[in-house]
Amino acid sequence: MNLKIIAFLFITLLGAPYIEEVQAQKESVCVKCHSQLGGKFAEPVKLWNESIHKEMGNNCDGCHGGDTTDPARAMIKESGFLGKPKITEIPNFCGKCHVGVKENYLKSAHGIIAAKTGAPNCTTCHNSHDVKKASLELINEKNCTRCHTYEKPQKIKQALSGSETEIARLAAQIKNAKGSSIDTRRLEEKLFAARNAIHQATHVLSVEKINAIKATTGKELAEVDASLKEINKEIAKRKRIAIGVMIFCFAAAGVILLYRKTFLKPESWFKV
Ligand code: HEC
Ligand code: HEC
Ligand code: HEC
Ligand code: HEC
Ligand code: HEC
């Protein structure tokens, strides 16, 4: 039997139950117990299952603390359990991981007013459990006119949208270059840093400050763009060489065929 087939059978017959067991062990006691509770205590599990946090491994304890392995110790103070945050605690609750965002937010009109009233806080815009990947789509009339007019939000969105389009364009080109097996790590890192700075700028809520951040990231983006132009030239050159090699091979094959037909046919040996 083929070695690959043996390995495959070994993994499916013996490995699968083992893998399942490991995955079951990995499911936290928080998720297990809360799924069974029903109502508002089970709702967080359902919502979190659809979130970017679940996808990226930020589990219940990342936000709430506690012991995910032992039901008896799960929700006690000694395990670092924080419980449900008060509304004014939310910026620090989320900000222990999203440090840069928190700093910008706390200095903004939103952060200053929320220190007293509790809103708008992180969950006003991102929710608590079904947190999704963030984009400028979040700035829309429905979300932003609950407390004031759309005039200022729209200006913020306009200030940011040019960079957002440019970042998306460069990201697509990097992906393309990667497909042609070119090392794009350095460019990816640069783009990622610029993207972060721009995204974090959203929480500043000031068009002037956004423009100042854009002045720096604009330079970085232009450098990425220039490198990509060089890479694209290189890809085009490689394509031309590949086509050249292909044409050469076809021509060579044609010559060999002709050679065999003319000189190597057995009957041609005896013809006078
Ligand atoms: C054995 C069942 C069980 C386990 C395990 C469990 N919980 Fe709970 N949890 C409950 C019940 C029941 C409540 C509601 C009553 C209460 O607050 O004690 C609750 C309430 C909560 C609340 C709301 C508290 C509040 O102040 O309103 C949070 C937050 C929470 N759990 C998070 C967690 C996290 C995080 C874990 C894992 C580290 C976890 N739970 C593990 C049963 C459980
Ligand atoms: C990204 C941070 C974050 C994660 C991850 C998270 N929570 Fe929460 N949770 C919150 C916040 C903020 C609140 C308080 C505001 C609210 O009730 O929506 C909260 C509230 C709760 C409550 C109280 C609900 C109520 O109506 O009283 C429970 C129960 C709870 N979470 C359980 C969980 C469980 C179980 C998990 C894992 C599946 C989890 N949370 C994961 C942020 C989080
Ligand atoms: C224990 C750390 C931790 C805590 C606490 C936490 N997050 Fe996250 N969050 C992450 C990680 C990890 C990611 C995925 C990586 C990334 O995109 O930054 C993420 C991603 C996000 C994203 C998507 C970012 C993107 O790239 O579009 C948003 C929005 C977000 N979190 C909001 C919140 C909010 C709101 C809270 C509080 C209710 C919170 N987070 C609490 C770790 C955390
Ligand atoms: C008024 C609404 C609003 C509030 C309040 C808010 N955010 Fe955001 N957040 C946004 C928008 C809009 C974006 C998308 C920005 C973009 O795409 O340029 C975003 C982006 C993010 C990102 C992604 C950043 C990245 O690098 O991709 C994270 C993480 C995040 N927010 C966390 C938080 C946290 C934590 C808080 C509270 C301290 C918070 N947000 C408060 C609207 C808000
Ligand atoms: C829970 C209420 C609430 C929501 C929702 C809300 N805001 Fe605000 N916002 C305020 C308050 C309060 C102020 C300060 C007073 C004012 O300017 O009206 C403010 C001010 C602002 C300012 C002016 C900042 C300055 O320094 O002049 C901008 C820009 C802004 N918000 C953007 C947004 C965006 C974008 C959204 C939607 C993603 C949003 N807001 C959603 C309450 C809210």
pLDDT tens profile 189-237: 999 999 888 887 899 999 998 999 999 999 999 999 999 999 989 888 9
- Bond prior to 120 in cis (omega within 30° of 0): yes
Q: How far apart are CA 125 and CA 134, in angstroms?
A: 10
- Token pair of 116 as six digits: 């007293």
Q: How far apart are CA 113 and CA 40, in angstroms?
A: 29
Higher per-residue pLDDT: 117 or 245: 117
**Plot region of 232 (φ>0 → left; ψ -120 to 50 → alpha; else → beta):** alpha
**10 pLDDT higher than 50:** no
Do 96 and 57 have their domain in common?
Answer: no
Q: How far apart are CA 82 and CA 35, in angstroms?
A: 20
**50 pLDDT higher than 50:** yes
52 in contact with ligand 3, CB cutoff 6 A: yes
Q: Are 34 and 49 in contact (CB under 8 A)?
A: no
- Token pair of 193 as six digits: 């840093």
Asked, for residue 117, whether it belongs to a domain, the answer is yes
129 in contact with ligand 5, CB cutoff 6 A: no
- Token pair of 252 as six digits: 């060579």
Asked, for residue 60, whether it belongs to a domain, the answer is yes
Q: Model confidence over 98-137: pLDDT tens digits?
A: 999 999 999 999 999 999 999 999 999 999 999 999 999 9
Do 172 and 224 have their domain in common?
Answer: yes
Do 46 and 110 have their domain in common?
Answer: no
**22 pLDDT higher than 60:** no
Do 165 and 68 have their domain in common?
Answer: no
- Measured at the CA of 102, the angle between CA 112 and CA 115, to 5 degrees, comes to 25
- Residue 116 CA to ligand 4 center (angstroms) comes to 20
Give 14's DSSP letter. I
Asked, for residue 45, whether it belongs to a domain, the answer is yes
State the average pLDDT for the chain. Answer: 88
Asked, for residue 133, whether it belongs to a domain, the answer is no
Contacts for 178 with CB less than 8 Å, ≥ 6 apart: 184
Do 206 and 250 have their domain in common?
Answer: yes
111 in contact with ligand 5, CB cutoff 6 A: no
Range of the domain at 92: 88-121
Q: Are 232 and 177 in contact (CB under 8 A)?
A: yes
- Residue 121 CA to ligand 1 center (angstroms) comes to 23
**39 pLDDT higher than 80:** yes
- Residue 268 CA to ligand 3 center (angstroms) comes to 79
Closest CA to 107 of 8, 209, 26: 209
| Phi, psi for residue 28 in degrees, rounded to 5 | -70, 160
Q: What is the pLDDT of residue 267?
A: 64
Instruction: Classify 121 as helix, strand or coil.
Output: coil
Give 85's DSSP letter. P
- Among protein residues, the one with the nearest Cα to ligand 1's atom 36 is 30
Asked, for residue 42, whether it belongs to a domain, the answer is yes
Do 199 and 108 have their domain in common?
Answer: no
Q: Which of 105, 131, 138, 143 to mutate to test the pocket of ligand 3 (most atoms within 8 A of CB)?
A: 131
User: What's the predicted TM-score (pTM) here?
Assistant: 0.86
Task: Count how many domains the chain has.
Answer: 3
Q: What is the pLDDT of residue 258?
A: 84
Pocket of ligand 1 (CB under 6 A): 28-30, 33-34, 37, 41, 60-61, 64, 66-68, 71, 74-75, 83-84
Asked, for residue 145, whether it belongs to a domain, the answer is no
The mean pLDDT of 59-70, rounded to a whole number, is 98
For the chain, the residue count is 272
Run of H or E residues at 153:
helix 151-179
Q: How confident is the model at residue 250 (pLDDT cuts 50, 70, 90)?
A: confident
207 in contact with ligand 5, CB cutoff 6 A: no
Q: How far apart are CA 217 and CA 223, in angstroms?
A: 10
- Residue 122 CA to ligand 4 center (angstroms) comes to 7
Identify which ligand lies nearest to the alpha carbon of 97: 3
Identify which ligand lies nearest to the alpha carbon of 65: 1
